[in-house]
Chains A and B, each alone.
Chain A
């Protein structure tokens, strides 16, 4: 099992990317694509941001300019499924769709699209009523998503189930529930679905973001987490992940394991 790091940085929520998308300036986007690839990202998240005028057009343009400079697979991040489909059409490598909640109409739109383009899906353990608190409720959503994958001819292995972590300063009681959910999600099917987290959420609004991020990431890996949308340029975080992989006997130890982790 290899840990998939999904680079979070190419997101219009960040000021430099937002401006680049608005002005169709490829430079900041391409720089981050290269920088995150060099840090070992398995996927690059691509989000046009809230300010983009035409999401479909912007998404297609972003995918094009990123693919000019690197061939790292992309995680197309949008609530607009037309924008995602526009991106999928031109992705050179199988992409990751970010994301699909456990709502029937969205499943019916996203799952066949994933099948058509050979893409994988980040699937959220929530529906219209919002994010559940208990691990059991999260796992119940996960089970429905796994069954839906089977229904649409996808393998559980095509799903990255995100049990949705919330900031620990305002929703502290969610963190252990998410850990328990991660543990159970791994047992839902054989092969098990992948799991992922929007890791940086856990530390949102706190003054200790890197410390909280890497501590929680290691805890979650112990419960079976095998990917995260994260700051791949946070060296201490990446070192912690590489170390956790070794200590979980998922990769073979060598003295230069942290370097090897970034290069594979």
Chain B
């Protein structure tokens, strides 16, 4: 949405000179809001007003990219406060800290090794944050070079000493690292370094208003590849700041906050640290920098991030295929349902409760429920029959009996005709599976 009539009116000179061809400044503001006039018709408009009006057409949060090759991290470019309003687009980058005075190579090796495979998804750490803990520019430079040689992940260079950043960044310029951080004292020099290699630069304020001032100064120097850090480290305050930054950018088009954000965890206990990171992932952080390499903590965090960043408008589907519930044998019964996750998990839970090891087919209906998929021609004998005939279930079980949902009893004949299997019509509702299994399957 562009600027409102009132917002434009406030920026106009209010001379009512009619030189724009419209009787009053207010009428001109309304014409602008309606797209019936252009700003250059007004000879007295200020530069500030021009900037505000131009920015109204830009996206509320800028897209900023870091990294190179197939490890590019896209940050920002979000449009909503709540994911149910549309969706969140760019998943938070998870980074792990490495101190420059530690065994950098070993630590980076360890970070490279953190890879999870879960329900068909692959998770890995997005980036490595090399921290200038030594305070020495050469040590930092060597550590960054060592990390860069060991990993293709996005690099985050953490030092508020411009000399250290400059030395380290030069060696990894083509990797487009994130530079951390420009503050009130060093920003001119930091902007110069960032500009030279066109790398994203974190702006670190003392608080939100200091941050807004600082961003204004840096944008004034002509640099807009920015990431924001309000400087807070306490969970409740970081949460409040991240919320303000997102809200002001989207609802008020406040340009200084129209950039992605970064947050750092502070908790020592890996369990608490993961909880803290989950708050930041949920509440708008584009990058979260952590210390733990504990797998259990990171796995919950990755699962959470994946859930938050799924598109709520797309039905959530499980991987189509044949699922074994319990210790199945060639005699185990075979149920079929759709791959809509809500449907699938409801049926799976009921089958588990029968304590009778069973197979459950999640038939590919593009994530639609049984009746919806049936009505849409995706859960019908013509599709299920041929699939079942060629399915590897024929090798797994010694019988040929398929249990279908009672709601679609009508597809029985066609499945039997096309697959050669016998079809048993199950209960209409999954909560009838327990009784059904007891009476018909001897569970």
Is chain B found bound to chain A in the same assembly? yes
Query: Cβ of A147 < 8 Å from any Cβ of B?
Result: yes
B-contacting residues, A142-164, CB 8 Å: 143-144, 146-147, 150, 156
Q: Find chain A residues with CB under 8 A from B10 CB.
A: 150
Closest to A186 in B: B4
Contact between A140 and B7 (Cβ–Cβ < 8 Å)?
no
Contact between B27 and A150 (Cβ–Cβ < 8 Å)?
no
Q: A190 CA to B9 CA in the complex, in Å?
A: 13
Total A residues in contact with B, Cβ cutoff 8 Å: 14
Contact between A187 and B26 (Cβ–Cβ < 8 Å)?
no
Query: Cβ of A246 < 8 Å from any Cβ of B?
Result: no
Contact between B27 and A187 (Cβ–Cβ < 8 Å)?
no
Contact between A150 and B30 (Cβ–Cβ < 8 Å)?
no
Query: Cβ of A66 < 8 Å from any Cβ of B?
Result: no
Query: Cβ of B203 < 8 Å from any Cβ of A?
Result: no
Contact between A188 and B6 (Cβ–Cβ < 8 Å)?
yes
| Closest-CB distance, B234 to chain A (whole angstroms) | 31
Q: Which of B6, B7, B29, B251 has the most CB of A within 10 A?
A: B6
Closest to B252 in A: A190
Contact between A147 and B27 (Cβ–Cβ < 8 Å)?
no
Contact between B7 and A144 (Cβ–Cβ < 8 Å)?
no
Contact of A147 among B26, B33, B34 (CB under 8 A): B26
Q: Which of A146, A147, A150 has the most CB of B within 10 A?
A: A147
Closest to A190 in B: B4
Q: A223 CA to B30 CA in the complex, in Å?
A: 19
Query: Cβ of B152 < 8 Å from any Cβ of A?
Result: no
Q: Find chain B residues with CB under 8 A from A190 CB.
A: 4, 6-7, 251-252
Query: Cβ of A91 < 8 Å from any Cβ of B?
Result: no
Query: Cβ of A10 < 8 Å from any Cβ of B?
Result: no
A-contacting residues, B10-32, CB 8 Å: 10, 26-27, 29-30
Contact between B4 and A139 (Cβ–Cβ < 8 Å)?
no
Closest to A156 in B: B6
Task: Give the interface residue-count category, chain B.
Answer: 10 to 19
- Given A187-B33, A190-B251, the answer on whether A143 and B26 have CB atoms closer than 8 Å is yes
Query: Cβ of A263 < 8 Å from any Cβ of B?
Result: no
- Given A187-B4, A189-B4, A190-B4, the answer on whether A147 and B9 have CB atoms closer than 8 Å is yes
Counted as pairs of residues, one from A and one from B, with CB atoms less than 8 Å apart, the total is 38
Q: Find chain A residues with CB under 8 A from B251 CB.
A: 190
Closest to A136 in B: B30
Q: A144 CA to B29 CA in the complex, in Å?
A: 11
A-contacting residues, B227-261, CB 8 Å: 251-252
Closest to A185 in B: B5
Q: Find chain A residues with CB under 8 A from B5 CB.
A: 143, 146, 187-189
Contact between A189 and B27 (Cβ–Cβ < 8 Å)?
no
Q: Find chain B residues with CB under 8 A from A192 CB.
A: 4
Contact between A188 and B27 (Cβ–Cβ < 8 Å)?
no
Q: Find chain B residues with CB under 8 A from A140 CB.
A: 26-27, 30
B-contacting residues, A163-217, CB 8 Å: 184, 187-190, 192
Q: A192 CA to B4 CA in the complex, in Å?
A: 9
Q: Find chain B residues with CB under 8 A from A188 CB.
A: 4-6, 30, 33
- Given A187-B33, A190-B251, the answer on whether A150 and B26 have CB atoms closer than 8 Å is no
| Closest-CB distance, B363 to chain A (whole angstroms) | 30
Closest to B29 in A: A143
Q: Find chain A residues with CB under 8 A from B6 CB.
A: 143, 146-147, 150, 156, 188-190
A-contacting residues, B55-95, CB 8 Å: none
Q: A146 CA to B6 CA in the complex, in Å?
A: 7
| Closest-CB distance, B133 to chain A (whole angstroms) | 46
Contact between A144 and B26 (Cβ–Cβ < 8 Å)?
yes
Q: A112 CA to B33 CA in the complex, in Å?
A: 28
Q: Find chain A residues with CB under 8 A from B9 CB.
A: 143, 147
Q: Find chain B residues with CB under 8 A from A184 CB.
A: 34
Q: A195 CA to B4 CA in the complex, in Å?
A: 16
| Closest-CB distance, A158 to chain B (whole angstroms) | 13
| Closest-CB distance, A199 to chain B (whole angstroms) | 26
| Closest-CB distance, B3 to chain A (whole angstroms) | 8
Q: A150 CA to B4 CA in the complex, in Å?
A: 13
| Closest-CB distance, B49 to chain A (whole angstroms) | 16
Closest to B6 in A: A189
| Closest-CB distance, B26 to chain A (whole angstroms) | 6
Q: Find chain A residues with CB under 8 A from B34 CB.
A: 184
Q: Find chain B residues with CB under 8 A from A150 CB.
A: 6, 10
Q: A184 CA to B9 CA in the complex, in Å?
A: 16
Q: A146 CA to B7 CA in the complex, in Å?
A: 11
Contact between B7 and A139 (Cβ–Cβ < 8 Å)?
no
Q: A156 CA to B7 CA in the complex, in Å?
A: 12
| Closest-CB distance, B331 to chain A (whole angstroms) | 45
Q: A4 CA to B252 CA in the complex, in Å?
A: 26
Type the 1/0 row for B211-231, where 1 means its CB is closer than 8 Å to any CB of A: 000000000000000000000
Q: A156 CA to B29 CA in the complex, in Å?
A: 16
What 7 additional pairs, Cβ within 8 angstroms, besides A188-B4, A188-B30, A190-B251? A139-B30, A140-B30, A146-B5, A146-B6, A147-B9, A189-B4, A190-B7
A-B residue pairs in contact (CB < 8 Å), sample of 15: A139-B30, A140-B27, A143-B5, A143-B26, A143-B29, A144-B26, A146-B5, A147-B26, A156-B6, A187-B33, A188-B4, A188-B5, A188-B30, A188-B33, A190-B7
List the 10 closest A-B pairs by CB distance, nearest first. A189-B6, A188-B5, A189-B4, A190-B4, A146-B6, A143-B5, A143-B30, A143-B26, A188-B4, A188-B6
